[in-house]
Amino acid sequence: MLPAFIKPMLAKLSEPFDSPRFLYEIKWDGTRCLFFIENGKIRLQNRRLNDITYRYPEFWDLPQRLSRDGIVFDGEIVVLKEGKPVFRLLQEREHVKSPVKIKFLSERLPATYFIFDLLYLDGKPLLEKPLRERKKLLKETLPESPFVAESEYILEKGVAFFKQVIALGFEGVMAKDLESPYLPGKRVDFWLKFKPRRKRRCLIVGYLLRPDGTLKSLLVAEPTEKGLIFRGRVASGLTTHLADVLLSRLKKLETSGPPPELKGSGFPKGAIFVRPEIACEVSFQEITNHGQFRAPVLEKVYL
């Protein structure tokens, strides 16, 4: 018997790189889905371990398109428009429960399941086999369906592939170690994701000092429709000359506490707050669940 559920393996963020040990494939902007086929029936499980089989009738006949059973695929459900995933259209599918509307949307906005891994075959686990072998078995097992496709990949040339993928408007690239096992629920260095760095204009709301009194890092906040949102601290990109110039300006703007319009949490111990009058540009990989920039770099200060 197949397990009742499997936590999907997760990826860490990384800068793009080349390696003969890794394969590189498009990072699909959709819903992560583990696809169970057992005794001629299917079951779709999302990242939160919820059963979402009812949402996608276009996949219900897949057991009849396969000569094997006891299968678990890992992949991503997307809704394509002109060959590219559109998350907004997928959300229309995700929020519907009426069987009549589900059937209507499956015809108007058909989903595609991009399969990138094979975890069970004939009821036997493949989790400990290297990705290279799982990929080979996947290609041999893939069902013929207009709604299913293998997530194609290239070898070695991760940097060039990332540039091409981003230029075409996709979300990013996944890099996966060809010799790695599948580790349910784990976020390890075997799987890495490349995403383009984003930039935001922010305001400096405070700073931290080193023991010798020099400027260590800046506290930045982003002006939004909901107010001034704290985005964390940034030190990368802060040159010695810029730090000296900034510190003399910041000392003149010091306040007794955070600006009253500042929202958020996680202010570091020892922070010295200032009036938010100096703007800057910060690049980052993504915004964390706590609302702060991940791997921020100071790109420009408007003095």
Q: Give yes or no for a contact between 39 and 200, defined as CB atoms under 8 angstroms apart.
A: no
Candidates 172, 134, 130, 173; CA nearest to 21 is 130
Alpha-carbon dihedral angle through residues 192, 13, 49, 129, given to the nearest 10 degrees = 20
Output the six-digit token pair for 265. 């949490």
Output the six-digit token pair for 291. 């609302």
Identified catalytic residue from 27, 135, 176, 195: 27
Output the six-digit token pair for 283. 């690049």
DSSP class of 55:
G
Candidates 203, 187, 225, 178; CA nearest to 22 is 178
Give catalytic status of residue 27 as yes or no: yes
Distance of CA 183 to the CA centre of its chain: 18
Candidates 54, 158, 161; CA nearest to 105 is 54
Q: Give yes or no for a contact between 210 and 245, defined as CB atoms under 8 angstroms apart.
A: no
Catalytic machinery residues = 27
